Amino acid sequence: MSLISFPADRPLDLIALGRLCIDMNANEINRPMEETLTFTKYLGGSPANIAIAAARLGVRTGFVGKVADDQFGRFIRQYLTKEGINTDNVVTDRTGSVTGLAFTEIRSPQDCSILMYRDNAADLKLAPGEVKEDYIKQAKALLISGTALAKSPSREAVFMALEYAVKHGVRVIFDVDYRPYSWNSLEETGIYCRMVAEKSDVIIAGREEFDLMEAPFGELRHDDWYTAEMWFRCKARLVLVKHGSKGSIAFTKDGKTYRAGTFPANVVKTFGAGDSFAGAFIYGLFQGWSVDRCQQFGSASASIVVSSHSCSDAMPTVEQIEAVIAQHSGRNDL
């Protein structure tokens, strides 16, 4: 029996909600951005990356978001359409907002950072009235990216989408996706993310992101098992804790724990791992796979993307992921 009982016969499998941005990845890698002369433009934004990852694996994917009325906004919409992602609830802002930019610095394979230009970003101007109930109810699952909670009216749009999802039996997958540059305080982050996590069926986050949701309430333990139990007392059936190059630990409400390692990678940059992991993991859930198989698929996907210059463009196909798994089939630590 599948861990997450998705509703059947929906026109879409997954709808992602949140940031649609542009990554500008430094071409001159292994040096500080002060020395960078050129960048390559990619579609960016964690939920956009996850949507692309899922769609490239065959997940029927839609998106709820807002883009700027500029060349980048048009590029984003065209890219999503080219990837087969439904954009019926992607709204174009007409107030003069701009597209969020993520300038990525690759000082070394292990030392990467992101310089964010987020002022007046269109994605955070998504309004509650622009989230369509008739759209949300078409999906089996709604992926909420935590950064969409960072500012109003996007914050209220998230809660509107969440209400529609619960009303129509759409499963909620919450990727905390903490990005400090968009928030006013850690407490604010913890409080609003916790409000979504309490209504989520699946919660995906790093250890520090779970800590953010525990700290404001005096529940900080830095303990994955404690964290999982806390969320199982709410609505969660699956809690996935990401631990970077150390792998991941998944907890299911039936009391089982699944540890996964990482696949070898020729690391170019660290970021993009979480989004590729999440997209492939969610694909596995839709396939009805066991949790450990979903984790293995996600880990293999991440090893491909961290070995690539881009995030979105590098999201792999099923065949590419299966080839990585086959290449290391003899190992028992993956």
Ligand X SMILES: Nc1ncnc2c1ncn2[C@@H]1O[C@H](COP(=O)(O)OP(=O)(O)OP(=O)(O)O)[C@@H](O)[C@H]1O
What is the smallest separation between the CB atom of 273 and ligand X, expressed in angstroms? 3
Query: Among candidates 244, 219, 243, 242, which has minimal Cα distance to 231?
Result: 219
The span of 31-39, 68-76, 207-215, 272-280 binding ligand LN3RO5KU (CB under 6 A) equals 272-280
Contact indicator for 23, 104 with CB cutoff of 8 Å: yes
Q: Is the peptide bond before 153 cis (omega within 30 degrees of 0)?
A: yes
Beta-carbon contacts of 301 under 8 Å, excluding residues fewer than 6 positions away, are 53, 276, 277, 279, 280, 315, 316, 321
The span of 39-47, 188-196, 225-233, 283-291 binding ligand LN3RO5KU (CB under 6 A) equals 39-47
The span of 5-13, 44-52, 156-164, 320-328 binding ligand LN3RO5KU (CB under 6 A) equals 44-52
**Which positions lie near ligand X, rule CB under 6 A?**
206, 242-245, 247-248, 262-263, 265, 267, 270-275, 277, 299, 302-303, 306
Type and span of the H or E element at 242: strand 238-242
Q: Report what 6 binds from ligand X, ligand LN3RO5KU, none; CB cut-off 5-8 Å by kind.
A: none
The span of 65-73, 152-160, 196-204, 267-275 binding ligand LN3RO5KU (CB under 6 A) equals 267-275
Contact indicator for 148, 124 with CB cutoff of 8 Å: yes
Q: Report what 17 binds from ligand X, ligand LN3RO5KU, none; CB cut-off 5-8 Å by kind.
A: none
The span of 42-50, 192-200, 203-211, 261-269 binding ligand LN3RO5KU (CB under 6 A) equals 42-50
Binding residue (CB under 6 A) for ligand LN3RO5KU from 44, 62, 73, 279: 44
Note whether 21 binds ligand LN3RO5KU by CB under 6 A: yes
Q: How far apart are CA 52 and CA 138, in angstroms?
A: 19
What is the smallest separation between the CB atom of 302 and ligand X, expressed in angstroms? 3
Strand, helix or coil for residue 18: coil
Contact indicator for 268, 29 with CB cutoff of 8 Å: yes
Question: Which C-beta is closer to ligand X: that of 93 or that of 105?
Answer: 105
Residue 234 DSSP one-character state: T
In sequence order, what DSSP letters do the residues of 263-321 get, joined into one string? -----S-STTHHHHHHHHHHHHHHHT--HHHHHHHHHHHHHHHTTSS-STTTPPPHHHH
Question: Which C-beta is closer to ligand LN3RO5KU: that of 114 or that of 166?
Answer: 114
Question: Which C-beta is closer to ligand X: that of 43 or that of 68?
Answer: 43
Q: Which of positions 281-320 make contact with ligand LN3RO5KU (CB under 6 A)?
A: 311
Note whether 62 binds ligand LN3RO5KU by CB under 6 A: no
Give Cα separations from 223 to 26, 206, 211, 219, 275 (angstroms). 36, 12, 9, 10, 23
Note whether 45 binds ligand LN3RO5KU by CB under 6 A: yes
Interface size with ligand LN3RO5KU, residues (CB under 6 A): 15
Binding residue (CB under 6 A) for ligand LN3RO5KU from 49, 61, 89, 189: 49
The radius of gyration of the chain from alpha carbons, rounded to an integer in Å, stands at: 18
Note whether 146 binds ligand LN3RO5KU by CB under 6 A: no
E strand segments, 11-110: 12-17, 21-26, 39-44, 61-67, 86-92, 101-108
> Which amino acid type is present at position 196?
V
Binding site for ligand LN3RO5KU (CB under 6 A): 19, 21, 23, 44-46, 49, 102, 114, 179, 271-272, 274-275, 311
